[in-house]
Structure 1
Amino acid sequence: MDRFGKKGILYNVVDEHYFSITAPIEVSDQFFGWVLGFGNDVKILKPQKVVDEFTEYLDKIRKVYES
């Protein structure tokens, strides 16, 4: 809530351990970096285009460490 606020955002309880949010975002490297800050405690579910862009972003980072 501290990042997105309450206005126009959908918060849903999934179960006792998880919740989901639906929020308008600007897709950017900065957004992806923010997501990465949560490690494996967060997952982008949709839209698929953003999921694909995020995995491409991760692939670019991985390639830096392959050489």
Structure 2
Amino acid sequence: MAIDNRMFGGPPNSQYHPVQQARGVRNLLPVEASFSADDDAAALREVARQLADDLSQQFGMPGSSIPG
């Protein structure tokens, strides 16, 4: 089950909560991304978004919460 330890718009906290509407995953599929240490912030953000989207989809969630 996907869990979250962030309050919406706030800092991390010590409370863990199941992500609403997420389903349990029995067999996670590996995800990967490539990037260069020389990439700018926008390129690194896009790699992070893609990884988050790939993992979110395995839990049945439509996409990541990483802002654009």
Q: Answer yes or no: same fold by TM over 0.5.
A: no
Higher share in strand: 2
Higher share in helix: 1
1 or 2 for the larger relative contact order (CA 8 Å, sep ≥6)? 2
TM-score (norm 2): 0.33
